[in-house]
Chain A
């Protein structure tokens, strides 16, 4: 092969994407591929919920009786704002403002934790009012759908906290901003899913 070919590859190397054909990093592309597939996961769970939510007896506990819209609105707002804090963490990290990026990272984790805490509280209240996981089809499908979302948020918090610990050890600098960006993509996606769930599950007229 010619020298040009070799030069070309080393140029490609310089942006860290091993001969990347599209000029994007593999890690980021991989995350987007995964998010595309996750649409189908939540689509299936939301469809199951929509199919089953009204299949309850006349005296059973259903969505109309259970939902506390003001409470869920607040926790939805909290999750929405965590999307803002995570982008602020990314921009802070990119300009190597480590201190701010840490603050925003921590804020994101805390907001996410508040959301998950709210969900746990909601589940507890439902359970006390008599809606268990096995009570009826509404309970089964509601807890499964929101539970899966909650697990996604929790995984996101774990990843953010791991990054936070890395940052405290001085190992998260502007050079690693792409890691944060990728976890941020995941985090936004979880937020987007909640936008859909909040509207369809909670707000649509029951």
Chain B
């Protein structure tokens, strides 16, 4: 008999903790589903008329929440060894600024005061870009 089975046979306590665990996952999935529904909702006509910057902020916010829910609960970073979180955060912390600065040099941001541009480095592009009435278009170099 493995330790697991021994634990199981010890009584209903164990099995109820399993159920609890599964319920946490199921609830998380429901929340994720609801958030996805809200995201998709922004696509439909009446909502879609909202200003771009509002949509971008809302969608980015929901995306980040979904991201953290999956990593924290499903990938159980929440209660696993901190080294895993650190590795993931390290990857994100390198990827996000590096690629953002790259996008920045391609002119993702409008040609505003250079000081403002430097400030934008600190804020996600999706927010700043839309904030200034700039729709999230790829670069100034588009042809035709």
Contact = CB atoms under 8 A, between A and B. Distances in A.
**B and A form one assembly:** yes
Interface of A: 22-24, 28-29, 32-33, 35-40, 43-44, 46-47, 50-58, 69-70, 73, 76-77, 80-81, 83-84, 86-88, 91, 94-96, 174-175, 184-185, 188-189, 191-192, 195-196, 198-200, 203-205
Contacts of A55: 138-139, 141-143
8 contacts: A24-B80, A50-B108, A55-B138, A55-B139, A58-B144, A83-B70, A91-B18, A191-B70
Contacts of A87: 25, 74
A153 B26 CA distance: 22
Interface string B13-52: 0110010011001101100110010011011000010001
B48 A205 contact: yes
Contacts of B67: 192, 195-196
Contacts of A69: 40, 43
A192 B71 contact: yes
Nearest to A51: B138
A203 B59 contact: yes
Contacts of A43: 95-96, 98-99
Given A53-B138, A77-B36, A87-B25, A35 B88 contact: yes
B143 A73 contact: no
A44 B80 CA distance: 28
A200 B63 CA distance: 9
Given A47-B103, A51-B138, A83-B32, 4 more contacts: A185-B75, A192-B70, A196-B67, A205-B56
A203 B42 contact: yes
Contact of B4 (A57, A80, A96, A188): A96
Nearest to A189: B75
Contact of A47 (B18, B88, B99): B99
Contacts of B83: 22, 24, 29, 32
Interface residues of B, number: 62
Interface in B75-118: 75, 80-81, 83-84, 87-88, 90-92, 94-96, 98-99, 102-103, 106, 108
A188 B70 contact: yes
B127 interface: no
Given A37-B91, A88-B25, A174-B4, A203 B43 contact: yes
B143 A96 contact: no
Contacts of B126: 200, 204
Nearest to B4: A174
B80 to A, nearest CB: 8
B102 to A, nearest CB: 6
B22 A88 contact: yes
A12 to B, nearest CB: 15
Contacts of A35: 87-88, 91
Nearest to A46: B99
Nearest to A36: B91
B5 to A, nearest CB: 6
Contacts of B92: 39
A50 B144 contact: no
Nearest to B61: A199
List 5 A-B pairs, minimum CB-CB distance, nearest first: A36-B91, A39-B91, A43-B95, A84-B29, A199-B63
